[in-house]
Amino acid sequence: MSRLSAVDSLFLGVETRELPAHVAGLQVFELPRGEGAAWLQAMMTELRRRPPGFPFNQRLKPGGIGLPELVTDDGFEIDYHLRHTVLPRPGNDEQLHAVLARMHANLVDRDRPLWEFYLIEGLAGRRFAFYIKIHHAICDGATFSKWMADATGTAASAPLRCIWERSHRHAGQTPRPWLEALQTPVASLRHSGDIALGLGKLAGRLVNARYLQHNERIALPLSGPHTALNAPLSASRSLAFADYPLEQLKAMGRPLGATLNDVVLALCDAALLRYLGEQGQHPDKPLVAAVPVNLRPPGESTAEGNYVTGLQVKLGQRDEGPAQRIQSIHQSVAAARALYSGLPNAASQAYSFSTALLGSVGMSLKLEGIMPPPLNLVISNVPGPRETRYFNGAKLVATYPISGIAPMTALNVTVYSYAGRLFFGMVSGRRAMPHLEDLKACLDEIYEEFRQALLA
């Protein structure tokens, strides 16, 4: 039995029909030469034979008091979790996106292990795809990326290995000794004190930086403008994808002393402002983005679950050019990081996740359009493998992240680096942003404008 952490449990607590709390990924493969539908059917037969490991064999324990627990699902059914979909001809990307949007809008069944895996057949150009969906209570983006990478190999001859074939178990899965259990209330009280002190220090830094030092790049709570990004949500979703050369994106920021993440934020910001302008909306102040940050030490890959916090980052002004926008956002990111510097991880997590809780309260009271939005969107960057990968001899040609939407926002943009390209996965509430492909078109235009301005 394994007890979820408070952060893991939060993703269960904020989930509603309009706000599914899962992360997902789309992997697109080329069929091996000479293979076709029979090869895919044989692979599906083999996949069904592969038993799940932890946490893919775990379900939520019914009832209970306190934080939720995971228990082994003795009635596990692979046919429920492993599914096969065939696109009708011509099998184009628009059909794929429509199918994925419907899959992504559905809640994960809490009475079973919290994941689903789809083989999608019939894509044009001798391609097929995997869509993998896992509840955010089980893993964050960094963990999910590692699991997906572990299920592929660096050569076509690499042995077949499924994402759910795992033997690792959380260290906290075994019952604690009675003495440790007695000490837990004392430890919890001490831990709560550290969080309170950290939050107090953070509040002091916010006031000092914004009001005494007059740092305009600080994003204060509830400081984002009202836009279509903060309209009421329905359960339906829209998806759009893009990808660009990774080295070109890095080169855009290098002369400015900016990171790849700064460039991604600037691209998304400029594209969103153009998109909103085309919808007749012109925000009167900069957008505010939540930017998840991995809290694992450099090189650490064994810690699983959710080890992330989120920076609140003020984006650029409407009239800024490419270089100025990147520099402004670089300053905003630096200011946000300085606020969290030296704080306990638990305190920074408590502050960032309080934003989600604030948004959840706003949604439950239907205060969209009345209450200032805690943030306008989420923009996340998850690193992936640098080298080309294969699954059962099939070459992985594209891999797009498909994340979830935060409370009182209608857009998530997650980027994923793989084999020299950066893949953008955009997810929106369909009612708030019904034409997400228009945002993708704006992003393509902005990328080309940045390339010409900064790399010519």
Q: Token pair of 21, please?
A: 């709390």
CA distance 255 to 229: 32
321 within domain boundaries: no
Higher-confidence residue of 369 and 409: namely: 409
> What average pLDDT does this structure show over 167-177?
45
Per-residue model confidence as pLDDT tens digits over 394-421: 999 999 999 999 988 999 999 999 999 9
What is the model's pLDDT at position 360? 84
Per-residue model confidence as pLDDT tens digits over 41-52: 999 999 999 999
Count structural domains, the chain: 1
Please enumerate in sequence order all residues whose Cβ is within 8 A of that of 182, keeping only pairs 6 or more positions apart, or say none: none
351 within domain boundaries: no
> What average pLDDT does this structure show over 341-361?
80
Most confident of 127-131, 194-198, 298-302: 127-131
% the chain with pLDDT above 90: 65
Please enumerate in sequence order all residues whose Cβ is within 8 A of that of 290, keeping only pairs 6 or more positions apart, or say none: 310, 311, 312, 313, 352, 355, 375, 377, 378, 379, 406
pLDDT band at 173 (very low <50, low <70, confident <90, very high): very low
Global confidence as pTM: 0.91
Helix, strand, or coil (residue 254): helix
- Please tell me the least confidently modeled range out of 113-122, 174-183, 233-242: 174-183
What is the model's pLDDT at position 199? 78
Q: What is the DSSP letter of 363?
A: H
CA distance 4 to 135: 12
Dihedral of CA atoms 278, 433, 427, 352 in degrees, nearest 10, equals 90
Q: Token pair of 67, please?
A: 């934080």
Q: Which residues pair with 69 in a beta bridge?
A: 3
115 within domain boundaries: yes
What is the model's pLDDT at position 426? 98
pLDDT band at 249 (very low <50, low <70, confident <90, very high): very high
172 within domain boundaries: no
CA distance 272 to 292: 19
Helix, strand, or coil (residue 287): coil
% the chain with pLDDT above 70: 90
Helix, strand, or coil (residue 104): helix
Sign of CA dihedral 243, 416, 224, 101: positive
pLDDT band at 434 (very low <50, low <70, confident <90, very high): confident
pLDDT band at 260 (very low <50, low <70, confident <90, very high): very high
The number of beta carbons lying within 10 Å of the beta carbon of residue 393 is 18
| Domain, as residue range, for 161 | 2-165
61 within domain boundaries: yes
Helix, strand, or coil (residue 169): coil
Nearest in space to 140 (alpha carbons), one of 296, 328, 263: 296
Please enumerate in sequence order all residues whose Cβ is within 8 A of that of 159, keeping only pairs 6 or more positions apart, or say none: 153
Helix, strand, or coil (residue 393): coil
Per-residue model confidence as pLDDT tens digits over 147-163: 999 999 999 999 999 99
pLDDT band at 294 (very low <50, low <70, confident <90, very high): confident
Higher-confidence residue of 208 and 371: namely: 371
- Quote the strand ranges of 31-141, DSSP E: 58-60, 69-72, 82-86, 115-123, 127-135
Position of tokens 């990171």?
Answer: 259
43 within domain boundaries: yes
- Quote the strand ranges of 191-299, DSSP E: 237-245, 288-294
- Sheet containing 377-382, strands listed edge to edge, beginning at the edge strand earlier in sequence: 237-245, 421-429, 411-418, 377-382, 288-294, 308-314
- Please tell me the least confidently modeled range out of 32-36, 291-295, 300-304: 300-304
CA distance 439 to 421: 20
What is the model's pLDDT at position 172? 39
Check 84, 136, 226, 435 and give the catalytic one. 136
For this structure, is 136 an active site residue? yes
What is the model's pLDDT at position 185? 47
What is the model's pLDDT at position 300? 55
378 within domain boundaries: no
Contact indicator for 350, 291 with CB cutoff of 8 Å = no
209 within domain boundaries: no
Higher-confidence residue of 362 and 447: namely: 447
Q: What is the CA 186 to chain-centroid distance, rounded?
A: 35
Q: What is the CA 248 to chain-centroid distance, rounded?
A: 23
Q: Does residue 351 carry a pLDDT above 60? A: yes
CATH code where residue 68 lies: 3.30.559.10
> What average pLDDT does this structure show over 213-237?
87
What is the model's pLDDT at position 327? 97
